[in-house]
Amino acid sequence: MTRPQEPHETLLDVLQRKRDGRNVDPSMGVLSGEGAQQRVKTLERAPGVQPSGDGALLPPGAPSYYGLPAIKEPVWIASVPTYLYVGGVAGATSVLGFAAELIGGAWLRGLARRCVWVGMAGDMLSAGLLIHDLGRPERFLHMLRVFRPTSPMSIGSWVLAASGAFNTLALLVGHRGGWPGTVGRAAGAGAALLGLPLSGYTAVLLTNTAVPLWQSMHRSLPLFFMASATAASGSLLSLLPHPRHEAPVLRAFRVAGKVAEVATRIAVERDAARVPEVARPLREGLPGALWTASKVCAGAGLLLELLPRRTSGVATAANVLTSVSAVAARFAIFHAGKVSSRNPQATFQGQRQGLGAAEVTGHTVASDGKPLKFPLPVVR
Amino acid sequence: MGQKGFFTDTTVCIGCKACEVACKQWNQLPDDGFHFTGMSYDQTGALGASTWRHVAFVERPVPMPGVSTAIADFSWLMMSDVCKHCQRAGCLEACPTGAIIRTEFDTVYVQPDVCNGCGYCVAACPFGVVSRREDDGRAWKCTLCYDRLGEGLTPACAKACPTESIVYGDLDDLHARAEARVEALHARGLTEAYLYGKDAANQPGTGGLNAFFLLLDRPEVYNLPPDPVVPTMKARESWTAVAMGALGMAVAALGAVWLGKERRG
């Protein structure tokens, strides 16, 4: 696979791409260095900057290294925010399914069964989306090679794998009598128990990074994701064909989610707004537009829900709006995080304001021995 | 074996980039091509999958005490950047496959035969060191010449450094050497000199760096974070939020079913 030739590419660039520069003749030497097995299709480019007047000299208040990013941008692709939605819905649906099974009795058996279906399908789709994102998809089983409690991704891999297995088991034997039925119902309980962390751990996964925007939300984002997952799960189940007597159950579930979503969204925004440079991507550009769209859809979805007389058309519109809002919110936070990782000031200013390690350890000086505050006094 | 590391003294760095070349050659890393970044003498830009040493060139509009230049208000800062091999490494604590390990030399090493390219270490590193190469699909970074250390050799960059700006050795020796150097510089009037990431007291967020630096200006100037934190330090609060959310979600589910039942009468 060769990259199409870029318009500004010179003959030198083309010739360079023909070789990886290691210049080791296999008949004369061996490729055994630590980086020798690194596959090369195209040469990596240095992160060039546009020379801009006095840009090379440091502005006094906000120093940086030629404005280059201080951290690496996450390499994840769109299948990750898609998973944030799908996995969240699968988790919340498993929880509702078990609640229906546990106290709903025979009357809600249909809902419980449908929840197991949705949960299973969601788990399978989630696994596919995550494997697609891997740099080496054929090694996806390495995710279950160890269990690392410090890694939300390790915890999440195990939760997702087990949840998928439990939901599948519940689907296969949950409706039977005798001991297979007991096993199936126990599996349903397991899937519900795992559905709780499944709908929220993804937020911990994002906030447990150096990405300034995501890290700044480390207290509120899990609550927002779980509230939004509840609303989205209730809306999806309401959009699927269901008997009339289930409607009050679904309505109560999704309204609880929608109200909590509005409240936790405010908390998320407040957390991000502590540092203006960090919160900027949530207001500007494509991620900002997505975030605003998500807010509008969530508000509209909640308002339509509270209308005194609701036709089936209005109900459908409310459910669609809430689902769109949940998807848009995840894409907005995902891409806004990427934008914030490219801005060195988002990293630096947050840490100078005491939102780096000082937020946990409470120390008062930065690594250069200067007191934590921003901007620093300029000494000439 | 003991704790091994680098002490990078930026005051004696002359920006020759011998460390970059030595690293590329020894580790047989692929070429990056010839590209003009347009920023000072730095055509490398940043650390990456195929760049495990990177020399930063900072042009400051400030004079350096004891150094005379043709321009009055000007001084150079050069720093050879590298993976910091943190005591609490964000990449290691994030790695879900166990590909990233701590070696017997107390360094942090990515096993290429285990890494499945999930990309979590890339986002978890507070210094922007680890990088996933798109063509290759795996994460790569400085190994602190794990293969050379096993044979009792000095890492390629430190071996090639002509001014001993990069010093490799036992961490205790390096600490003593670095402190003596800072004292000597202070005595000479360079009072800005300080050690970046020497130990947990200096940098609580990482527990100290096995590859630490002597710097002359704010960390931001060298593209280093002023108060880096291993993201895992903040995870407890996030998991508490998940537990609260789980409680809320369970109540919502049970409450919805119970309410629906009541409605039915």
Length of chain B: 265
CA distance B206 to chain A (A): 8
Q: A274 is written with which tokens?
A: 């502590």
The average pLDDT across A138-143 equals 95
CA distances from A90 to A232, A239, B157 (A): 10, 15, 50
What pLDDT is stored for residue A14 in this prediction? 65
Looking at the structure, do residues A220 and A285 belong to the same domain, yes or no? yes
* Element housing A163 (H / E): helix A152-173
Q: Is B104 at the interface with chain A, CB within 8 A?
A: no
Would you say residue A342 has pLDDT above 50? yes
Would you say residue B14 has pLDDT above 70? yes
Q: Testing the interface with A: which of B157, B220, B233 to mutate, by most A Cβ within 10 A?
A: B220
Would you say residue B186 has pLDDT above 90? yes
pLDDT tens string A194-251: 999 999 999 999 999 999 999 999 999 999 999 999 999 999 999 999 999 999 999 9
Residue with tokens 């058996």: A109
Interface A:B, Cβ pairs < 8 A:
421
CA distances from A54 to A46, A58, B36, B126, B240 (A): 21, 8, 18, 28, 47
| Residue scoring higher pLDDT (B134 or B95) | B95
Question: Alpha-carbon torsion A141, A38, B159, B186, what sign?
Answer: negative
Least confident piece of the model among A50-64, A165-179, B75-89, B174-188: A50-64
Would you say residue A8 has pLDDT above 70? no
Looking at the structure, do residues A182 and A245 belong to the same domain, yes or no? no
Range 135-194 of B in CB contact (< 8 A) with A: 135-140, 143, 145-147, 194
What pLDDT is stored for residue A48 in this prediction? 53
Residues of B with CB below 8 A from A220's CB? 241
The average pLDDT across B180-195 equals 94
Nearest CA in chain B to A133: B118
Looking at the structure, do residues A236 and A198 belong to the same domain, yes or no? no
- CATH no. for residue A102? 1.20.1630.10
Alpha helices in A34-133 (DSSP H): 79-99, 109-133
Query: Could you tell me if residue A225 is inside a domain?
Result: yes
pLDDT tens string B194-217: 999 999 999 999 999 999 999 999
Residues of A with CB below 8 A from B55's CB? none
Q: Is B87 at the interface with chain A, CB within 8 A?
A: no
Looking at the structure, do residues A191 and A246 belong to the same domain, yes or no? no
Could you give the number of structural domains in chain A?
2
Confidence of residue A61 (pLDDT cuts 50, 70, 90): low
Three-class SS of residue A248? helix
Q: Which long-range contacts (CB under 8 A, 24 or more apart) does A235-239 make?
A: A235/A301, A235/A318, A235/A319, A235/A320, A235/A322, A235/A323, A235/A326, A236/A89, A236/A93, A236/A118, A236/A319, A236/A323, A237/A93, A237/A96, A237/A111, A237/A114, A237/A115, A237/A118, A238/A315, A238/A319, A239/A316, A239/A319, A239/A320, A239/A323
For residue B169, report the phi and psi dihedrals to the nearest 5 degrees: 170, -170
Share of chain A above pLDDT 70, in %: 88
Query: Could you tell me if residue A293 is inside a domain?
Result: yes
Instruction: Mark yes or no for CB contact B255/A256 under 8 Å.
Output: yes
| Domain coverage including residue A121 | 72-208
Would you say residue A50 has pLDDT above 50? no
What pLDDT is stored for residue B156 in this prediction? 97
Mean pLDDT, chain A, integer:
89
Instruction: Mark yes or no for CB contact A145/B97 under 8 Å.
Output: yes
- Concatenate the DSSP letters of all residues of A178-218 into one string: HHHHHHHHHHHHHHHHHHHHHHHHHHHHHHSSS-HHHHHTT
Confidence of residue B100 (pLDDT cuts 50, 70, 90): very high
Query: Could you tell me if residue A289 is inside a domain?
Result: yes
Instruction: Mark yes or no for CB contact A139/B40 under 8 Å.
Output: no
Query: Could you tell me if residue A151 is inside a domain?
Result: yes
Q: Is residue B172 within 8 Å of residue B212, measured between CB atoms? A: no
Looking at the structure, do residues A192 and A178 belong to the same domain, yes or no? yes
The average pLDDT across B39-56 equals 92
Residue with tokens 């959310």: B245
C-alpha–C-alpha distance, residues B118 and B139, integer Å = 8
Confidence of residue A310 (pLDDT cuts 50, 70, 90): confident
Looking at the structure, do residues A192 and A214 belong to the same domain, yes or no? no
What ipTM did this prediction achieve?
Answer: 0.94
Query: Could you tell me if residue A218 is inside a domain?
Result: yes
pLDDT tens string B106-126: 999 999 999 999 999 999 999
Would you say residue A53 has pLDDT above 50? no
pLDDT tens string A248-279: 999 999 999 999 999 999 999 999 999 999 99
Would you say residue A5 has pLDDT above 50? no
Neighbours of B135 (CB within 10 A): 17
What pLDDT is stored for residue A375 in this prediction? 56
C-alpha–C-alpha distance, residues A190 and B9, integer Å = 56
* Cis peptide, bond prior to residue A375, ω within 30 of zero: yes
Nearest CA in chain B to A43: B32
DSSP lists the bridge partners of residue B60 as B75
Instruction: Mark yes or no for CB contact B30/A220 under 8 Å.
Output: no
Residue with tokens 């679904």: A250
Would you say residue A150 has pLDDT above 50? yes
* Order of all β-strands in the sheet with B211-215: B166-170, B4-9, B211-215, B194-196
What pLDDT is stored for residue A368 in this prediction? 87
CA distance A270 to chain B (A): 16
**Cα–Cα–Cα angle for B84, B89, B9, nearest 5°?**
15
CA distance B70 to chain A (A): 17
Question: Alpha-carbon torsion B171, B172, B178, B181, what sign?
Answer: negative
What pLDDT is stored for residue A373 in this prediction? 74
What pLDDT is stored for residue A235 in this prediction? 97
Question: Alpha-carbon torsion A264, A270, A275, A279, what sign?
Answer: positive
The average pLDDT across A20-44 equals 78
C-alpha–C-alpha distance, residues A109 and A97, integer Å = 9
Looking at the structure, do residues A322 and A288 belong to the same domain, yes or no? yes
What pLDDT is stored for residue B8 in this prediction? 97
What pLDDT is stored for residue A3 in this prediction? 44
What pLDDT is stored for residue A174 in this prediction? 86
Query: Could you tell me if residue A234 is inside a domain?
Result: yes
Q: A159 is written with which tokens?
A: 């939760």
Residues 6 or more apart in contact with residue A380 via CB below 8 angstroms: none
pLDDT tens string A89-117: 999 999 999 999 999 888 899 999 999 99
C-alpha–C-alpha distance, residues A94 and A116, integer Å = 6
Q: Testing the interface with B: which of A39, A45, A134, A151 to mutate, by most B Cβ within 10 A?
A: A151
Instruction: Mark yes or no for CB contact B40/A201 under 8 Å.
Output: no
CA distances from B16 to A45, B54, B161 (A): 21, 11, 9
pTM beyond 0.90, yes or no: yes
CA distance A21 to chain B (A): 5
Q: Is B200 at the interface with chain A, CB within 8 A?
A: no
What pLDDT is stored for residue A46 in this prediction? 62
CA distance A178 to chain B (A): 26
C-alpha–C-alpha distance, residues A284 and A332, integer Å = 11
| Ramachandran assignment for B95, one of left (phi > 0), alpha (psi -120 to 50 degrees), beta (any other) | beta
Helices A312-342 + A247-272 axis angle, to 10: 30
Q: Which of A148, A178, A208 is the last residue of a domain?
A: A208
Looking at the structure, do residues A180 and A297 belong to the same domain, yes or no? no
Query: Could you tell me if residue A44 is inside a domain?
Result: no
C-alpha–C-alpha distance, residues B72 and B64, integer Å = 10
Neighbours of A80 (CB within 10 A): 21
Query: Could you tell me if residue A187 is inside a domain?
Result: yes
The average pLDDT across B231-256 equals 96
Domain ranges of chain B: 4-229, 233-265
Neighbours of A317 (CB within 10 A): 15
Looking at the structure, do residues A169 and A236 belong to the same domain, yes or no? no
**A287 half-sphere exposure, CB direction, 13 A CA radius:** 19
Please state which CATH class domain B4-229 belongs to. alpha beta
What pLDDT is stored for residue A35 in this prediction? 87
CA distance B173 to chain A (A): 21
Measuring CA to CA, which residue among B52, B61, B70 is closest to residue B145? B52
What pLDDT is stored for residue B73 in this prediction? 83
Instruction: Mark yes or no for CB contact B35/A19 under 8 Å.
Output: no
